[in-house]
Amino acid sequence: MTDQVRTRIDGPIGRITLTRPKPIHALTLEMVEAMSEALLAWRGDDAVRAVMIEHEPGTRGFCAGGDVALVRDSALTDGGKAGRAFFHAEYRLNHLLFTYPKPTVAFMDGITMGGGVGISQPCKFRVATENTKFAMPEGAIGLFPDVGAGWYLPRLPGATGKFLALTGARLDGAECLWAGLATHYLPSDALGDIKARLVAGETVFEVLGKDAGERPEARIAGNAVKIDRLFNPDTLEGIIAALEADESEWAAKELDAVRAKCPTTGVVALRQFAENAACETFADNMRMEYRVASRMMLRHDFAEGVRAVLLDKTNDPVWDPARPADVHPALIDAIFAEDPDGGEWTPFPG
């Protein structure tokens, strides 16, 4: 039991409500395990027709990520044992949602980043609002875009996935809809009625089957041609060179964003795109990501990034290596190698 998430059956709906508001519902191991336990119990319960994932009303966002402070402490004190346990459980939850046999709907109202992406993107229905702020910001803390990002990002339009992985750009709700990260866009003040109708017995298809009407213009659409051209190269150095050669203010801003991120993270993210092409299933992708997470969390860059961004808040991480050119291919090969400490990742049975 945990007071950080509430799971219950409400009418025909299995309802998961995140209730850890101060850190914007960042996922802990206890939360992940409680969510998985409920989903497994509801999977074969005919009384549960669908599942919704939401956050406590009146709080700042859906989910800001995972408990990276715990993972950092584990890397520094127990060789990563507790960190690996967290990633193993979190990735099992991500996979369980991806393969869930009943309709699932995530209400991405507010901040939806990192671990919040991991519990929303596997859902069949993903509702964004005017409050949505979507991002994969792991490059700023020396980790990598995980929780299934290696599967989702390569499937976005054009080079959008590379752009998000390397810049940590934040998308609003309309941009999420344009990119396919959201399936629906609704005003936040309509969510209460939507949820009430689901609990009253209307199906998800009835409630969300119709277009909600007008929505703001997706700003990213205006930059799509530039994104596809400048983020098309397969290497981090190639993308940086393309941005350097472009004289627009937009390219200069995105160049600064890419350069500020951990170089090893950028190289790992692009390798993810290549490796995912050989992943036949989502489970294959999560197995790959677990190998990477097991190694990345033990590196200097992760401890340093969390220190600079989240603990000291000085935003002055010193990356090692500091330049993309110095990220040796042998290092990347070792990060992606099979059989990490603690063994390979496995999904829930069934």
Which residues are known to be catalytic? Answer: 66, 115, 138, 146
Q: Which residues contact 56 (CB under 8 A, 6 or more apart)?
A: 17, 18, 19, 21, 25
DSSP string covering 62-107, please?
A: EE--B-HHHHHHHHHHSTTHHHHHHHHHHHHHHHHHHT-SS-EEEE
Crossing angle (nearest 10°) for helices 236-245 and 263-276: 110
Residues 4/28/174/253 CA torsion (nearest 10 deg): 140
Q: Do residues 25 and 54 make contact, with C-beta atoms less than 8 angstroms apart?
A: no
Residues 121/158/185/23 CA torsion (nearest 10 deg): 50
Distance CA 339, CA 94 (A): 21
Q: For the sheet with 125-128, list strands across it.
A: 5-10, 13-18, 50-55, 104-108, 125-128, 184-185
How far is the CA of 172 from the CAs of 69, 117, 146, 314, in angstroms?
A: 27, 14, 20, 26
| DSSP class of 307 | I
Q: Which residues contact 3 (CB under 8 A, 6 or more apart)?
A: 19
User: How long a stretch of residues is the chain?
Assistant: 350
Q: Which two tokens stand for residue 196?
A: 């009430």
Give the three-class secondary structure for 245. Answer: helix
